[in-house]
Amino acid sequence: METTTSIYEQANYFFPDSDDSSKLFLRDVLKVFEFASHPTIRIQFYIAILGLIVTFFHLIILTRKSMITTSVISIMIGVGTCDLLAMIATIIYSWIIYNEDDTDPCVHPLPLTQMYVYWVFINLRELVRRSSTWLGVVMALIRYINLKSDKTTGLVIFMTFSFFIVELPIGIVVVLQVAYTELGYL
């Protein structure tokens, strides 16, 4: 059984408070954005694969014995690890969206386990993306302190551990919040 919706009914559904001509115009604008945005999921998938390969080689170079000479390198390794996890999460949840069947007019929802995987990797990506940014801020702070003082190794170790100790409960709260509000799991 196939259901059809007229253009006017779609416009009325999306923009119920607008006048008729505005509804149709806004619906056309929405369709243009939808047409332009769907290929970006596929592009994001391939860019994430390229980013994963490049970040992997950066991490190999940064973890060599000759490279670990300054305290900033350990934070750069943390940034690289966060970026690597962000790329993996992007690949996984883009793959879930990319393999969705758009040809069936009666679209079925994703299976529950696939939905859980999707939400976990979206949250993981957001968490490590923010962690990468804050590690960059910490790296800039350490470089600033390094210009003022010569004793930064202990400070770097303390700041790195305290950063992850602070970030872990926040990440757990975010995952539980999404599990409660978005998934209705808890």
Q: Do the domain assignments include residue 23?
A: yes
Q: Is residue 86 part of a domain?
A: yes
Average pLDDT of span 130-157: 74
| Number of Cβ within a 10 Å radius of residue 79 | 22
Residue 154 belongs to a domain: yes
DSSP 71-118: HHHHHHHHHHHHHHHHHHHHHHHHHHHHTS--S-SSPPPPPHHHHHHH
What is the rounded CA–CA span in Å between residue 85 and residue 104? 33
Assess whether pLDDT exceeds 60 at residue 98.
Answer: yes
pLDDT band at 99 (very low <50, low <70, confident <90, very high): low
Q: What is the pLDDT of residue 1?
A: 39
pLDDT at 28 over 50: yes
Q: Which tokens go with 43?
A: 């592009």
Mean per-residue pLDDT, 148-169: 73
**Lowest mean pLDDT segment, chosen from 36-50, 144-158, 163-177:** 144-158
Q: What distance in Å separates the CA atoms of residue 106 and residue 102, rounded to the nearest whole number?
A: 9
Hey, what amino acid is at 181? T
Instruction: Say what the pLDDT of residue 152 is.
Output: 61
Arithmetic mean of pLDDT over the chain? 77
The parent domain of residue 155 ranges over 7-181
Task: Inform me whether the pLDDT recorded for 38 exceeds 70.
Answer: yes
Share of the chain above pLDDT 70, in %: 83
139 found inside a domain: yes
Share of the chain above pLDDT 90, in %: 3
CA distances (Å), origin 154, targets 72, 79, 149, 168: 12, 19, 12, 21
Q: Does the residue 160 lie in any domain?
A: yes
Instruction: Tell me, yes or no, whether 186 lies in a domain.
Output: no
Radius of gyration of the chain (CA): 23
Strongest mean pLDDT among 76-90, 117-131, 165-179: 76-90
Distance CA(136)–CA(128), nearest Å, equals: 12
User: Is the pLDDT score of 53 beyond 90?
Assistant: yes
* pLDDT, position 182: 65
Number of domain units in the chain: 1
**Per-residue confidence (pLDDT) for residue 67, from 0 to 100:** 78
Query: Which whole number is the average pLDDT over 87-98?
Result: 80
Report in angstroms the alpha-carbon separations of 127 from 124, 130, 169.
5, 5, 11
Domain-embedded: residue 2: no
Predicted pLDDT of residue 50: 92
Query: Would you say residue 133 lies in a domain?
Result: yes
